[in-house]
Structure 1
């Protein structure tokens, strides 16, 4: 069905909210309500032709004068062109704060806030092979569910990962004490795999399988993974990429009910080149093999 005007859109939005609340007291969580509100706002902007703009001025304003325009301009010059469309001005301010000064090699910085009933987590570190694998694996090993993630690597080599996370079993924000333990393990490179496998064995694995598609987008090769969500899925996909010699330039990770939707903009690790058609086919095949198995992935080396 087509939504022809803003009035109909608003009626549908209110009806959706009312229907969710009527279904059950726990159906409309703060996180789900926020997703619905974001969708409503984006469609409304499209219909009215007045999309909100995140520019240097709004970022400086959001920082309350703590960050100057030159610093904002220099930072924006190091990120993909679509960056400002993917993050709010408040999130960009957090990125500026956590990367000033730039992280040292092997340093893993993090900042967490409770937001709409979940934890908003920003992680910053010098990008290196396997970093996201360790982050995703450690989160999963400690029973943390990733509801949403947006990942970006700056031209200066800093990986910026922005997550919305919650406790996998009971929901709700993640306690600061647990986050302290998680990032202690990441800084000390404590092995997470045995703990992760225990969680897989304890809570079981949902039916494996899914869909993997690919296409080109400018200077990157894009892979989209749609699969039944399960313990350690993001870890497994990222491990395939790392072991295949591929880096993530940009990513959007989403959880919708029992489904995970991961969109990954990929480049060759080291050179930053776009993947050849042959290389892209190999990577896609490896991801398909990974999500088709019920256990963890140990992908082969890059050809």
Structure 2
């Protein structure tokens, strides 16, 4: 997927939430902001089973949710909160979450590395927390 839209604080978090609430998982993302303030972001996404999104109905729903999210008619945080339940098999395994901050890797930014159990909406939750704390994402 390619997104070209006016860039603003929280855009990446909202888009990550839109993908998650539509049942898509972001495998890779490249985010750029043009000199005229437009976001040009590319996303490699999979369905919930780890396969490509090929079903026309799912693609149309994802497109609709992305557009509604961008114009404020869909709120991914609410949609994800309503869906969020930990499957019983995952509750049996403990994964220690870890967040590392590296100020040595770059002269202009702090690199944040997160280790956690993957789940629908994780990227949205992480990027939303950064947004709420005034952190701008320059690369993902």
Report if the CA contact (8 A) 1:140-1:231 is conserved.
Answer: yes
1:44-83 alignment, distance < 5 Å: none
Partner of residue 184 from structure 1, selected from 32, 42, 64: 64
Aligned counterparts of 2:110 and 2:17: Cα–Cα separation in 1: 24
Aligned counterparts of 1:184 and 1:124: Cα–Cα separation in 2: 15
Residue matched to 2:100: 212
SS of the residue 1:169 aligns to:
coil
Rate the CA distance shift 1:219–1:211 in 2: closer, same or farther, 3 A: closer
Poorly superposed stretches of 4+, deviation over 6 Å: none
1:108-127 alignment, distance < 5 Å: 121-127=1-7
Rate the CA distance shift 1:164–1:186 in 2: closer, same or farther, 3 A: closer
Question: Larger relative CO (CA 8 A, sep 6+): 1 or 2?
Answer: 2
Aligned length: 131
Question: Which ranges in structure 2 are unaligned for 5 or more consecutive residues?
Answer: none
SS of the residue 1:168 aligns to:
coil
Report if the CA contact (8 A) 1:151-1:160 is conserved.
Answer: yes
Deviation at 1:129, TM superposition (A): 1.6
TM-score (norm 2): 0.76
Partner of residue 29 from structure 2, selected from 149, 156, 159: 149
Deviation at 1:226, TM superposition (A): 2.5
Aligned counterparts of 1:177 and 1:154: Cα–Cα separation in 2: 32
Rate the CA distance shift 1:240–1:173 in 2: closer, same or farther, 3 A: same
Aligned counterparts of 1:162 and 1:224: Cα–Cα separation in 2: 20
Compute the RMSD of aligned alpha carbons: 2.4
Report if the CA contact (8 A) 1:152-1:249 is conserved.
Answer: yes
TM-score (norm 1): 0.39
Rate the CA distance shift 1:160–1:242 in 2: closer, same or farther, 3 A: same
Higher helix share: 1
Rate the CA distance shift 1:174–1:203 in 2: closer, same or farther, 3 A: farther
Deviation at 1:203, TM superposition (A): 4.3
Report if the CA contact (8 A) 1:122-1:160 is conserved.
Answer: yes
Deviation at 1:230, TM superposition (A): 1.6
Partner of residue 53 from structure 2, selected from 158, 162, 173: 173
Rate the CA distance shift 1:174–1:200 in 2: closer, same or farther, 3 A: farther
Question: Which ranges in structure 1 are unaligned for 5 or more consecutive residues?
Answer: 1-120, 252-303
- Aligned: 1:240 with 2:96: no
Deviation at 1:215, TM superposition (A): 1.8
Aligned counterparts of 1:195 and 1:225: Cα–Cα separation in 2: 24
